[in-house]
Amino acid sequence: MYETITYSINNGAAWITLNRPNTLNAFVSKMNQEITHAIKTASGSEEVRVIVLTGAGRGFCSGQDLSEVDENMDHGEVLRRHYGPMMKQIYQCEKPIIAAVNGVAAGAGFSLALACDFRLISDRASFLNAFVHIGLIPDSGNSYFLTRLVGEARALEISVLGEKIQAEQALSLGLATKVFPADHFEAEVQQFAERLAVMPTKAIGLIKRTIKAAGNLSFQDYLEEEAQGQRIAGLTKDHREGVQAFIEKRKPVFVGK
């Protein structure tokens, strides 16, 4: 069905694997479109409770395929047509999204990882804001997410100096949720995904929505957003199940509804 990615479901987790390993999974427009489509499909699937984005081979994603860049290209248009829709699809997704960073994440590949809710990284992973090395500015939401994660001063250092950030440093900077050994990386990611897949999925979506709103609203407006979110959460089956399970002193069985 897809040419540049693979898509599979394992125990509630949709795995979207960027699949151009000879280029360390560099983006071509087809890949932008296919990722957008796959995220939309996973978002709408009842079977899927969590989404995992990863790369085939030794890289996560090396950013734009530089062999496709030519001097007549309007980079702004490329962003509006191909990268923007992909990043919006990820940003708007109400299910948890994990970037399983198996190797280097450079340029827009770094942006892709930054846009996800969790970054589980292999001890062989690295991040590189490569844009400055080819005279470009960080794009695909990069500075939006990076400043929120590490603050303006660090974001500036990472973006202007363009130094490679290795796994342990990424963890200490707050760029990674967890680092796992490369030898059992996939199994660890699946285990983490399964942990999320049995949680109250609707509530997670509402938590994502509320946290995003928190940075952009006045306190008054935020309180209203929170009240609306809690109203919706309070009407879910999972809320009823959570309370019932507490009273019956048993583990809750959440269905994501």
Find the binding residues for ligand T3D in span 215-254 (CB under 6 A). Answer: none
Q: Which residues contact 86 (CB under 8 A, 6 or more apart)?
A: 32, 33, 35, 36, 39, 112, 140
* Residue 101 sits in the site that holds ligand T3D (CB under 6 A): no
Give the orientation angle of helix 84-92 with respect to helix 29-44, to 10 degrees.
20
* Residue 160 sits in the site that holds ligand T3D (CB under 6 A): no
Element (H, E) at 78: helix 75-78
* Residue 65 sits in the site that holds ligand T3D (CB under 6 A): yes
* Residue 24 sits in the site that holds ligand T3D (CB under 6 A): yes
From candidates 64, 89, 102, 159, binder to ligand T3D by CB under 6 A: 64
From candidates 3, 9, 11, 66, binder to ligand T3D by CB under 6 A: 66
Q: DSSP letter at 117?
A: S
The window from 85-93, 101-109, 203-211, 231-239 that contacts ligand T3D (CB under 6 A) reads 101-109
* Residue 73 sits in the site that holds ligand T3D (CB under 6 A): yes
* Residue 138 sits in the site that holds ligand T3D (CB under 6 A): no
How many amino acids of this chain bind ligand T3D (CB under 6 A)?
A: 24
Q: How far apart are alpha carbons 214 and 207 in whole angstroms?
A: 10
Nearest distance, CB of residue 73 and ligand T3D, angstroms:
6
Contact 42, 16 (CB under 8 A): yes
CB nearer ligand T3D, residue 59 or residue 96: 59
Nearest distance, CB of residue 177 and ligand T3D, angstroms:
22
* Residue 128 sits in the site that holds ligand T3D (CB under 6 A): yes
Give Cα separations from 53 to 25, 89, 114, 247 (angstroms). 12, 13, 12, 37
Nearest distance, CB of residue 45 and ligand T3D, angstroms:
29
Residue 152, exposed/middle/buried by CB under 10 A (0-12, 13-18, 19+)?
A: exposed
CB nearer ligand T3D, residue 128 or residue 179: 128
Closest CA to 105 of 25, 173, 161, 185: 25
CB nearer ligand T3D, residue 43 or residue 54: 54
Count H helices, E strands: the chain? 11, 10
Please state the length of the chain. Answer: 257
In the chain, what's the furthest Cα-to-Cα distance? 67
Nearest distance, CB of residue 5 and ligand T3D, angstroms:
16
Site for ligand T3D, rule CB under 6 A: 23-24, 26, 62-67, 69, 73, 75, 78-79, 104, 106-108, 128, 130-131, 134, 136, 139
